[in-house]
Structures are given as C-alpha cells and as structure tokens.
Amino acid sequence: MKTLLVSMEPCREVKEAEPAVYIGYRLLGCDRIEHILLSGGSIIRIRKRNEECMFAQLIRRGYTLTSPIITHDGFVRFVLVDSVNVRKILRKYEQRVLDTNEYDIRSLALTPRQRRALVLFALQYNNVSSVAKALNVSKPAAWKLIKKGIRKVVNLYA
C-alpha cells in the first residue's frame, strides 16, 4: 500500500493560535471538524466547516494513518493512504501543500520491537548494551532496531 507523507501550511485560524502540539481532531456531524490544539499551556478548540478545511476534506475522502503533528517550523504533517480522491484534493490546494512524499507503509510504521527498543533507549537505558539485554538480543540487533526506529521517526517529524 502506498502512502503519502503530506506537509502543508495550517489554516489561518490554526496558524494564529500558534500551537505547540496538535492534540487531535474530531468530526462534528457531517459538515464540521474540530481541531484540538495545545498553545501556551491551554487547550484550544477550532471548529470549521468541512468545505473550509483541507484536512477535513482529506479525511472525508481518504484514510489517514497518523494524526497531524505540528513541526518545529509551524507546518502540519500527517500520513494518509494514496488514492485518486486524495490526489485531487492535494491539487486543489497545491498553494498550501509544501511537500508530498510517497512511502511504503512499512517504511513509516514502527514495528512493536522497534517501538520497544526506542522506549527502552530513550526512557530507561542510555546505552545499546542495556537495551540488548532487556530485549534479549545481541548488541548489533539492538542497534539495528534503534537505528531503523529513529529513521522512521525522523521521516515523520523532521
């Protein structure tokens, strides 16, 4: 399955809120979306009509694999399944789309072992030897899990 990693400018309301984190979204009936953001220590909710929101149109006509994130430079990034309908919407809003990269889903999704290795490396242990021991694998295998996991995370968040 082919997926698209989309980077785009946020809508005016989201940009003005200067969010630190995109917490999530929810669909309100058939015609509205609510973006939930964290900005300045408080939660902000921005409601928009679907026809005014590019992201709402993409999730209505496609299938998103990740929730949007706000990058360090203020752009919105998310992964969705590639389809004809998704491509039409991206062409319609091409002035807001900064980058669209095709990926195989396996190159973006962390495996459970990669996720476990990254959590151990980041939160509990500070070296590969300890991670290898905790996972009951060799040091080269632990390093490979950590390296591949970091590469996938960087593709999504960098």
Q: What ranges do the domains of the chain cover?
A: 2-107, 112-157
> With 90 as the cut, is the pLDDT of residue 153 above it?
no
> With 70 as the cut, is the pLDDT of residue 157 above it?
no
Confidence of residue 110 (pLDDT cuts 50, 70, 90): confident
H or E element that contains 90: helix 84-92
Q: Which of 50, 53, 59, 49 is nearest to 85 (CA)?
A: 59
Residue 137 phi, psi dihedral angles, 5° rounding: -130, 170
> With 80 as the cut, is the pLDDT of residue 106 above it?
no
